[in-house]
Amino acid sequence: MNNFVTTNSDIEKVLFGVRDTLSELDVSVYDPDTNTGFVRDIDVRRSETNDGMIITLVTHNKDDVKLLELSGLITEKFHNVNGIVLNFKPHKTNEIFGKENIPVWGNDFIEDEINGVSFKILPKSFFQPNGGQLKTIVEKL
């Protein structure tokens, strides 16, 4: 894919940057048919309040020797990334996230504020990703 119509352009840039960096480092992509490979999914959360972001790599294994190098390259390219988290999901399931989050670099959360209410958003938190829409929803309530 080359664009996401419904996604914030900053998130889109980070998603593609992570994808390209994973490719450059020759990090294996998960294959559900063989239940092998390292990265299953990439999730990026962005704070509407301060533009900070966390990247969650949903992985099939807990460690990869390239994680520190990957973190360095990503944070070098994207200065608004506040944290990188590994979410360990070893089993074949329909769920996006596994149970265990392992901070790799920086924070494992972002903070956002909507109408004066502060939120601490973790990788698996349910939170409306479209900040403009969320503000409208909160105002209607």
Question: Is 115 contained in some domain?
Answer: yes
| H or E stretch at 119 | strand 117-121
Question: Is 75 contained in some domain?
Answer: yes
Question: Is 31 contained in some domain?
Answer: yes
Between helix 67-77 and helix 9-24 the angle, nearest 10°, is 140
What domain count does the chain have?
1
- pLDDT of 94 reads 83
- pLDDT of 112 reads 85
* Boundaries of domain holding 103: 9-139
Question: Is 1 contained in some domain?
Answer: no
Question: Is 86 contained in some domain?
Answer: yes
pLDDT at 137 over 80: no
Question: Is 54 contained in some domain?
Answer: yes
What are the tokens at 4?
A: 């996401």
Ligand-binding site membership of 133 (annotated)? no
pLDDT at 131 over 90: no
DSSP per-residue letters across 3-29: --TTS-HHHHHHHHHHHHHHHHTTPPB
Task: Give the three-class secondary structure for 102.
Answer: strand
- pLDDT of 92 reads 85
pLDDT at 20 over 60: yes
Cβ 60 vs Cβ 30: under 8 Å = yes
Question: Is 19 contained in some domain?
Answer: yes
Q: What are phi and psi of 72, to 5 degrees?
A: -60, -45
pTM, two decimal places: 0.84
CATH number at residue 47: 2.40.50.1070
At 78-93, the pLDDT tens digits run 999 999 999 999 888 8
At 27-81, the pLDDT tens digits run 999 998 998 899 999 999 988 888 899 999 999 988 777 888 999 999 999 999 9
What are the tokens at 18?
A: 């992570």
Question: Is 13 contained in some domain?
Answer: yes
4 pLDDT band, cuts 50/70/90, is low
